Structure 1
Amino acid sequence: MVKVGGSLGDDMSRACADIRDLVAEGSSVVVVHGGGAESDRLAAELGRTTRYLTSGGGRRSRYTDAEALDSLTLGMLGRVKPPLVVELLRTGVRAVGLSGVDGGLVTARRTPPARVVVDGVDRVVRDDLSGRIADVDPHLLRTLLDGGYVPVVSPPALDPEAGPLNVDADRFAARLAVALGADWLIVLSNVPGLLRDQDDPASLVAEVPCDDLAAHLDLAGGRMKVKLRSAGEARLAGVPHVVLADGRVPSPVLAARAGSGTTFVEGAR
């Protein structure tokens, strides 16, 4: 399982070359991607404002009303996924683009109404179309993998009652990896991994013990907290090799498998 961050842009081609090599060696690979940054650019082009809400506990997340969900879906499925699939096809990989909705692959439960802060105003939000993943049915992915294809998957997920929902792409990748019994979950982004000092790449934390995850969350900011939690959950759920690594380096997937980045281990070392 390889998760590529939408922020990588053209750097995704480096991961695609590695995926080609892994497939040529006989490995089965699933690619997951997000696309929040591209969706924000699209929203701006459409004259839409990207808004965020803050929960009572201080957690900040995207406010996904119907308009925002439309921008997210268009961005991920219309702008991020096609170039990624095309690049894989160009290298000789038989890539197929999917979302969590296809075949009921990933189902989710819609976030209930909650009192939050939006644009500095405290209010109850009832129209948020985001949710948490409830279940993964890996049958479609296994069928494609058995046929020699590389699935390229992204949110949204499906709530049978509410329809498509925005779910976090890192949690999405972690849940897919667990459901498939993956040997590896490699999460690539535009940073080397977890850093003790965000301005110093040399301060990389090489290993994170899952039983000490909370202490390491203090080092993380923004999106990295979600990546840490998702990666730790996947490791504890049985994925043997979980790595947060830099997608901008040459051969980023193979480098992660060789030991670069931040690796998650079960206990303290």
Structure 2
Amino acid sequence: MRIWTVSNQKGGVGKTTTAVALGGLAVDKGMRVLLLDLDPHGSMTSYFGFNADTRLASSFNLFENPKRLNATLVSELIEPTSLWGLDMIPASTALATLERQAIGKDGMGLVVMKALQLVASDYDLAIIDTPPLLGVLMVNALAACQQLLVPVQTEHLAVKGLERMVHTLTMLGKSRKSPLSYTIVPTLFDRRTQASVMSLRHIRNQYPDHAWAGMIPVDTKLRDASKAGIVPHSFDSESRAVAAYKSLLKLMFEKTKR
């Protein structure tokens, strides 16, 4: 099973949309896909009509007793989405309490890795959505993944925030056997604005080895798909953003050849 994490320490950059769009397109390629929402805000959870505020069975349950984690428990947390072949483990707001609960507990950084290993035979791909801050949830997502996608809105403050994320990856890389491979994904690109064009140029100049050659354009069809609760390519397969995500998916498959 391939495992990809979508993460950034800044919110509002298109993490959830990227995870959902890639997951949906992978299903369209015949893959069985599991989405995992680790964000207490539950954007991905809400996308598919679940309520993170009232959710009892959620990704939070994975962390309650890591030593007793088993395939049955993980499977019971999985819900089907509106697209056949695309499943998810929803989030709950209880995830916000994990930082406090994790203090002094052993093995809390590898919970997600172990959970996904337990259902690896059921899926071809898992995509993890993370909260926009460094903590036990992001550490879990980074420890579990083979490839990291870092969506970055093409505007000045988001680009500055990217520096913090890259610094985090450098620090975490020192504790891994090998550095984590990551791809920077420019998002919400608007070629009509100088700020967006300059930000894209900066990303590519500053991170030539990691910046994706493409970009995700501003596209109202993404917002409409989210409102409808369906994956972007099912809402409008010919939209500009879907075409861009198809290109990104091809790159990710090449980076995680099996």
Mark yes or no: TM-score above 0.5: no
Bigger strand fraction: 1
Tell me the TM-score normalized by structure 1: 0.41
Give the structure with the larger helix fraction. Answer: 2
TM-score (normalised: structure 2): 0.42
Higher relative contact order (CA 8 A, sep 6+): 2
